[in-house]
Amino acid sequence: GNSVTQMEGPVTLSEEAFLTINCTYTATGYPSLFWYVQYPGEGLQLLLKATKADDKGSNKGFEATYRKETTSFHLEKGSVQVSDSAVYFCALRKISATSGTYKYIFGTGTRLKVLA
């Protein structure tokens, strides 16, 4: 079945450090891929997306590249800030071949804590 696996947290970094959060997926075809961010007490917000192989999504200094060959969509940022402290979710949107409907499947989330 379809699934998303992301690295266990929490991840603790110092300000200005380089961030990588790994995400791999299992799905047939070419699902759309997403990273969402959740700040304390809030809902999920879209951070970036990619809809086809080799697409690079980017936003607010974060980047992720859709790698079909490794079924991965790792999140990176060159220099994190304290304000980036949040929970990050990797997700995919998969269309059912039988019903034509789609749904989103999420990873378990990775908590990032950035220290000043």
Partner 1 sequence: DAGITQSPRYKITETGRQVTLMCHQTWSHSYMFWYRQDLGHGLRLIYYSAAADITDKGEVPDGYVVSRSKTENFPLTLESATRSQTSVYFCASSEAYRGYPEAFFGQGTRLTVV
Tell me how far apart the alpha carbons of residues 52 and 44 are, in angstroms, rounded to a whole number: 22
Q: CB-wise, 9 or 17, nearer to partner 1?
A: 9
Structure tokens at 4: 């998303």
- If binding is defined by CB under 8 A, does position 93 make contact with partner 1? yes
Enumerate residues 6+ apart whose C-beta is below 8 A from 103: 93, 94, 96
Bond before 10 cis per omega within 30 degrees? yes
- If binding is defined by CB under 8 A, does position 105 make contact with partner 1? yes
- If binding is defined by CB under 8 A, does position 62 make contact with partner 1? no
Task: Choose which of 62, 84, 107, 112 interacts with partner 1 (CB under 8 A).
Answer: 107
**Shortest Å, Cβ 91 to partner 1:** 8
Q: CB-wise, 51 or 81, nearer to partner 1?
A: 51
Torsion angle (degrees, nearest 10) of CA 106, 110, 46, 54 = -80
Give the per-residue contact string, 16-55, with partner 1 (x = CB under 8 A; - = no). Answer: ----------------x-x-x-----xxxxx--x-x----
Q: In angstroms, how far is the first alpha carbon of the chain from the final one? A: 41
**Shortest Å, Cβ 49 to partner 1:** 6
